[in-house]
Amino acid sequence: MEYIFLSYPPNLTRSLQIYKICSLVCIIFITVRLCCCATNNQTIPKQNVPTTPELSDLSHNKRKALYTPYWAVEIKGGEKAARAIAEKYGFLYLGEILPGIYHFKHNRISKRSLRQNNYYHDQLANDEQVDLVLVF
């Protein structure tokens, strides 16, 4: 009995090898980039978050921006300080995302909102133990 093995043509085999190598390089680059960001002790200074754009400013977009009740907050002082800040401002502490960055949720904000709630954001951003606040 004779066995027949199917194989890719030589030029396609080379293309697949190049594709695999490029994919591996991209994965390594992304992993290294994420590890560097997670272990870098430099902090990003607080930035003023722009207010929600007017609807006329969004006319070029097909969808309007949606805001959720979730925040990523970089806090000095560890988990104990993060829990205290969450309780102080009425947030629910959901856990640590990365070292020094914590996940918060506020129950008074709907799951999807067309308006950003600056009141809660500003409370967190103005706390002296908070380095960075991101809404997602």
Residue-wise pLDDT tens digits, 71-104: 889 999 999 999 999 999 989 999 999 899 999 9
Domain residue extents for the chain: 9-41, 64-135
**What's the token pair of residue 120?**
């809660």
User: In this predicted model, which residue has the larger pLDDT, 45 or 102?
Assistant: 102
Rounded to whole angstroms, the Cα distance separating 91 from 103 reads 10
Q: Which CATH class is domain 64-135?
A: alpha beta
**What's the token pair of residue 74?**
């970089």
**3-state secondary structure (DSSP) of residue 65:** coil
What is the pTM (predicted TM-score) of this model? 0.49
> Which residues have C-beta within 8 Å of that of residue 103, sequence separation ≥ 6?
70, 71, 72, 73, 93, 94, 95, 96, 97
92-98 β-sheet, strand order: 92-98, 101-105, 70-75, 130-135
Cα–Cα distance list, 78 to 4, 92, 122 (Å): 63, 16, 21
Give backbone dihedrals phi and psi of 57, rounded to 5 degrees, phi first: -70, -20
**What's the token pair of residue 115?**
């308006």
